[in-house]
Structure 1
């Protein structure tokens, strides 16, 4: 009888421990947490005026023109040449550091292209998951400043990128990957590297993980102290986090969740970073809470309006970095996404990848110019605006000025099929006109069956037509 009771006790203990282990990774609240620091709030308000940014992925992966970093991660969704052993592939990939010599490095070209497109802020990849630093770090020899490019006056790449974009009045963001697959403190050669997580039990090797924490904190400190004014610290690799903070988004990735906590001490990082950069916007992606000052849905747009700061980060082509023969979105598609995102309260962070030589592909520059032809004429309805309650009806999207005195209607047009514009739910004040933003032409409108109606004016616009009007107040 005692044996049975003991067995039952052990079984209950096992169930309890298993349940507790699962409970510590139950999805946490995803409610946005507003920052308490007044300087952060002010910078966040300034950032929310910008609406349109450029994220640049550039690193070793540009040499062979492949997906950024991920090809060296051994997960079942990643495709590699099946004739090459995994360890040999990693050696080949690391070896690209001996070939990466971007002698045509031209950050001024990038900044001009971004400005021409109407972009207002930058996020530059200072280090992706592969650990190859695009700045002159003192924590590792695995950087652009230590390879063939080391003799070049611009070897400290991040410095010259940030300087070029500052001259064009961009807000400056530093992308930094929390995981580092090249570091022996993260992917230890003692063990295989099965997936994106660190490959050793942190509980059994606390010294090694503490070394990784110091390494991470020191690299971020270099960026915060040696590269001028930084507005945004954009942290990627959301699986590196306290285990208790794992949420539904992380679980949806399908990657294994280690039994240990990959905690790099974000409070310490934030305190250090904001001492160097007062008011710094922290973006600890997917780790919702006090260190994710705005959220970053990737390659998608939320279904509905959100009342907290956010951005959709998505690619101009099919890849984040440079890939030969990439297929790029049309200017119309990008503008339509930008308009929808802004009407829903967010910003668009559009991804481009320079070639291995340090220049943007001609097709990218052309696309950005085409986008800029629209933003340069219609930007009043985008920049510095805020959401309005009635923000969408069919092909019509609405924003408003901060003071609420002007509403902007942006209509996606198909000239071959439409000769009248109508919408419901956002009416001008009676007796006031609707004004075409680009020409200042006044348009008469009527209200019928609860809808605003007016004839489509003669225009050469092929993407979207923008109107302004004084809203009806109730």
Structure 2
């Protein structure tokens, strides 16, 4: 089939891929186990101060501009052109490794855009489910450092991404997919690839699975030992797990569950990783227990406040990676989500995707810059804060300073809303005589309590957009 026609057909189906992916979301778990290692606790507390991060999906899928990895998985929710065979499609997809040559690769641009937005930590996709490594792995030739980009001085992409974000003061996270659909130790070409799981019976071929375990361990070891300080190991592909940990949450995804255990020996991996990176935060998504140091609800915000560490990972546009003509969330929507998430005890990890040439779309930079206009003057109510018992009243959300001395009320302005002369909220009644400060302007405002409701007078000349943040004290 004509390659351009194939891409058009794929892009036509892309919206259905994205919709399906939105529905492949992890439901809220009720189980969390606090880490015991004091260094992990310390780093986790530091991470909880950051509140706003960037997750970068960049790989082969950027070239045709399609959903990351999933089109090569044979599951019912995925649609492909019916005139091309599945095996030919996979070959077509994987052959992008021979074309991926991002000569304008500019991680400094990404890091600056993130900093300008007010982001404080990074999660970079070092390898997605398709198995294509965005680092110079010695375990496989299927990597950015082995194709057309090999002779570029920045061929070891992850190194330069991490360096650029470190220079901007970010905590560093490495996303790593536990499944690897390109590896013969995971998807063995002897058999068809029926779904996202490994496609052979591990009980029958234990030696092959042991090879995959070694391969996974060695790749993670490379990331932990060769790329400087790493704060977070963000492990995706939660179906790769011990069989005994498969629970209702996993079953709710609708994916087939094999009869054998896809155990990759996480205790061994964790011991190695934390020897190289003391205090490392491990995020073995959905495998609740010792190695899921914070939880990661995807594309949604929990209904209620949670008192353990978590982040909502959400896309800025409609896709995790680069898709041409993507529609991006308005800055106000992102700010409102950030405010709600922080008030409920979480962090926002916002997903963006660089173009195939290694630069960010201009629209992404513009949106991040607009978000930063708010965080740069209102960040006191977001960063280094913790939850309050009374965290919401209508359009107003509440946080408190880490030392508990100040309460912050954040009023989210609705689209097209004309600011009223006064705003009010219930709960968190200010302490008698306290100063009510508008954080963005350092204005002291008049306020009163009437019938158990706090009423704050707003200046007539306010031109604020997105949200208003106030600082005050409450009676003990």
TM-score normalised to structure 2 length: 0.93
1:249 aligned residue: 249
Matched, 1:332 2:354: no
1:385 aligned residue: 385
Of 413-422 and 199-208, the range deviating more from structure 2:
413-422
1:451 aligned residue: 453
Check whether the contact 1:30–1:288 (CA below 8 A) recurs between aligned residues.
no
Measured after TM superposition, the shift of residue 264 of structure 1 is 0.2
Q: 2:349 aligns to what SS in structure 1? A: strand
Q: In the aligned structure 1, how far is the partner of 2:456 from the partner of 2:427?
A: 15
Matched, 1:465 2:468: yes
2:156 aligned residue: 156
Measured after TM superposition, the shift of residue 187 of structure 1 is 0.2
Check whether the contact 2:57–2:353 (CA below 8 A) recurs between aligned residues.
yes
Measured after TM superposition, the shift of residue 226 of structure 1 is 0.3
Tell me, which stretches of 5 or more residues in structure 2 are unaligned? 1-26
Check whether the contact 1:133–1:144 (CA below 8 A) recurs between aligned residues.
yes
Measured after TM superposition, the shift of residue 319 of structure 1 is 0.2
For 1:429, which of 428, 431, 442 is the aligned residue?
431
Q: In the aligned structure 2, how far is the partner of 1:152 from the partner of 1:349?
A: 30
Aligned alpha-carbon RMSD (Å): 1.2
Q: In the aligned structure 2, how far is the partner of 1:314 from the partner of 1:247?
A: 24
Q: 2:398 aligns to what SS in structure 1? A: strand
Q: In the aligned structure 2, how far is the partner of 1:275 from the partner of 1:166?
A: 21
1:376 aligned residue: 376
Q: 1:151 aligns to what SS in structure 2? A: coil
1:70 aligned residue: 70
Q: 2:109 aligns to what SS in structure 1? A: helix
1:42 aligned residue: 42
Q: In the aligned structure 1, how far is the partner of 2:68 from the partner of 2:412?
A: 34
CA-to-partner distance for each residue in 1:228-250, whole Å, 9 max, x for gaps? 00000000000000011012221
Check whether the contact 2:192–2:199 (CA below 8 A) recurs between aligned residues.
yes
Q: In the aligned structure 2, how far is the partner of 1:124 from the partner of 1:355?
A: 15
Aligned pairs for 1:262-273 (under 5 A) are 262-273=262-273
CA-to-partner distance for each residue in 1:355-374, whole Å, 9 max, x for gaps? 00000000000000000000
Q: In the aligned structure 2, how far is the partner of 1:465 from the partner of 1:342?
A: 15
Q: In the aligned structure 1, how far is the partner of 2:178 from the partner of 2:385?
A: 33
Tell me, which stretches of 5 or more residues in structure 1 are unaligned? 1-26
Q: 1:30 to 1:204 in 2, by over 3 A?
A: farther
> What is the count of residue pairs matched by the alignment?
447
1:58 aligned residue: 58
Q: In the aligned structure 1, how far is the partner of 2:473 from the partner of 2:170?
A: 31
Of 129-138 and 417-426, the range deviating more from structure 2:
417-426
Q: In the aligned structure 2, how far is the partner of 1:241 from the partner of 1:190?
A: 23
1:139 aligned residue: 139
Q: In the aligned structure 2, how far is the partner of 1:167 from the partner of 1:417?
A: 39
Matched, 1:398 2:418: no
Check whether the contact 2:445–2:458 (CA below 8 A) recurs between aligned residues.
no
Of 292-301 and 447-456, the range deviating more from structure 2:
447-456
CA-to-partner distance for each residue in 1:139-171, whole Å, 9 max, x for gaps? 000000000000100000000000000000100
Check whether the contact 1:434–1:444 (CA below 8 A) recurs between aligned residues.
yes
Q: 1:194 aligns to what SS in structure 2? A: coil
Q: Which has the larger radius of gyration?
A: 1
Q: In the aligned structure 2, how far is the partner of 1:40 from the partner of 1:174?
A: 16
Check whether the contact 1:35–1:290 (CA below 8 A) recurs between aligned residues.
yes
Q: In the aligned structure 1, how far is the partner of 2:187 from the partner of 2:216?
A: 14
1:13 aligned residue: none
Q: In the aligned structure 2, how far is the partner of 1:358 from the partner of 1:81?
A: 28
Aligned pairs for 1:278-357 (under 5 A) are 278-357=278-357
Measured after TM superposition, the shift of residue 82 of structure 1 is 1.6
Check whether the contact 2:101–2:357 (CA below 8 A) recurs between aligned residues.
yes
CA-to-partner distance for each residue in 1:308-343, whole Å, 9 max, x for gaps? 000000000000000000000000000000000000
Measured after TM superposition, the shift of residue 30 of structure 1 is 4.2
Check whether the contact 1:435–1:469 (CA below 8 A) recurs between aligned residues.
yes
2:422 aligned residue: 420
Q: 2:286 aligns to what SS in structure 1? A: coil
CA-to-partner distance for each residue in 1:413-451, whole Å, 9 max, x for gaps? 244263320000111101223110011111121111211
1:22 aligned residue: none
CA-to-partner distance for each residue in 1:8-49, whole Å, 9 max, x for gaps? xxxxxxxxxxxxxxxxxxx9x842100000000000000000
Q: 1:30 to 1:436 in 2, by over 3 A?
A: closer
Q: 2:55 aligns to what SS in structure 1? A: strand
Aligned pairs for 1:93-242 (under 5 A) are 93-242=93-242
Measured after TM superposition, the shift of residue 79 of structure 1 is 1.5
Measured after TM superposition, the shift of residue 81 of structure 1 is 1.2
Q: 1:149 aligns to what SS in structure 2? A: coil
CA-to-partner distance for each residue in 1:194-246, whole Å, 9 max, x for gaps? 10000000000000000000000000000000000000000000000001101
Check whether the contact 1:111–1:164 (CA below 8 A) recurs between aligned residues.
yes
Of 447-456 and 167-176, the range deviating more from structure 2:
447-456
TM-score normalised to structure 1 length: 0.93
Check whether the contact 1:133–1:142 (CA below 8 A) recurs between aligned residues.
yes
Q: In the aligned structure 1, how far is the partner of 2:239 from the partner of 2:143?
A: 24
